[in-house]
Structure 1
Amino acid sequence: MSDSSAPPVRNWKRIGLITAGALSLCAFAFWLWLPANGLPAAGKFLRWKFDDVQHVTPAEAAALLADDTATVIWDIRRPDEFAVSQLPDARHVPPDTADAALKQLLPDANQTILVYCAVGYRSAQMARRLQALGHTNALNLEGAIFAWAEADLPLEGGDTVHPYNAMGRRMLQDDLEAE
């Protein structure tokens, strides 16, 4: 006789297949949802996760840069991303730059600095680091270079943007994606 309290092995296989199918369906739905909703959703998430960081929209950043020529702009992306295009007058600063080097690059703790990456996560981390180092005017560009380019604001180096990764490729407008 068999033990009726233990479910047969085939039921566990069935449960596993159903679970895998449901997860695959959710992943596919997310993949379809991402192009239309990814960048705004990322912006909301980043404002929540980095609520101690000051975020500015591309329009606010463009107005600030037009009025204040002393604002420093740092691109926190990888060198291959920076090589494709960047905001005008941006300086490439790797995210793993040591704190002492960051202080040398920005000796005035009150100077306004705008940091950006592809979507805003890496730059929000950098803005938080700068605040911890005593910089009072570190601003994170919401939506980063993706949102800047989608707002049709000027880029240097090219008219397209490095997509960063497969998910970034889904969030970036097709006509802005670098090959």
Structure 2
Amino acid sequence: MKQLLILLLCLLPISVFSQKTLDDLLSQYNTRSVPYISVEELRMLQKNEDVIILDTREEEEFTVSHIASAKYIGFNTFSTEEVSSKIADKDTPIIVYCSLGIRSEEIAEKLKKAGYNNIKNLYGGIFEWKNKGYPVLNTSGKETDSIHTFSKVWSKWLKEGVSVNSIKKNN
């Protein structure tokens, strides 16, 4: 009996802390109240349509790198009034993103409550964007491999690029 208990205690960390898929992670934190858009779909939209891309990460994260043409709106300091002053048409196609798509869903919900009705959340966020090999830009507008990973816990989801946890000069 004691050996069985020891075996169970040894196996418990494996089952509790085993690697989840991105879909499992997003299902754990998101309600899917806002439809997702894949990085491939966004890449095509960037080439063919006018779409507004909003970065819902913190300014420190945005300054390390962001998706081309993304506008910083933040998370902790987010203001629907500020967005409304810049985007008057509530039918405008808007894509929100963060590191993985968790914080951006919360911001998208606030935008929906403010009357915006054409919002999508980037599935996997900037991490998935970079993991698929799409470019990100630093504050100088130059392509970079650096991605602010928000925390060590979330950094495991960035498979491509250079993980940055504080502002560093991007060359």
Q: TM-score, normalised by structure 1?
A: 0.75
- Within-5 A mapping of 1:1-179: 22=9, 25-26=12-13, 31=17, 33-34=18-19, 37-45=20-28, 49-68=30-49, 70-95=50-75, 96-157=77-138, 158-173=144-159, 175-178=161-164
Q: Is the 8 A contact 1:112 1:138 kept in 2?
A: yes
**Which is higher, the Rg of structure 1 or of structure 2?**
1
Q: Is the 8 A contact 1:42 1:143 kept in 2?
A: no
Provide the alpha-carbon RMSD of the alignment.
2.6
Q: Is the 8 A contact 1:163 1:178 kept in 2?
A: yes
More strand by share: 2
Q: 1:110 to 1:60 in 2, by over 3 A?
A: same
Return the letter of the residue paired with 1:168.
W
Q: TM-score, normalised by structure 2?
A: 0.78
**Which range is displaced more, 165-174 or 107-116?**
165-174
The percentage of counterpart residues that share the same residue type is 23
Flag structure 2 segments of 5+ consecutive residues without an equivalent.
Answer: 139-143, 166-171
Flag structure 1 segments of 5+ consecutive residues without an equivalent.
Answer: 1-17
Deviations 1:120-155 (A, max 9, x none): 011011111111111111110000000000010111
Q: Is the 8 A contact 1:42 1:119 kept in 2?
A: no
Runs of 4 or more, structure 1, over 3 Å off, are: 21-25, 28-31, 43-46
More helix by share: 1
Look up the match of 1:13.
Answer: none
Deviations 1:19-39 (A, max 9, x none): xx949952x6555x33xx442
**Cα distance in structure 1, aligned partners of 2:56 and 2:134:** 19
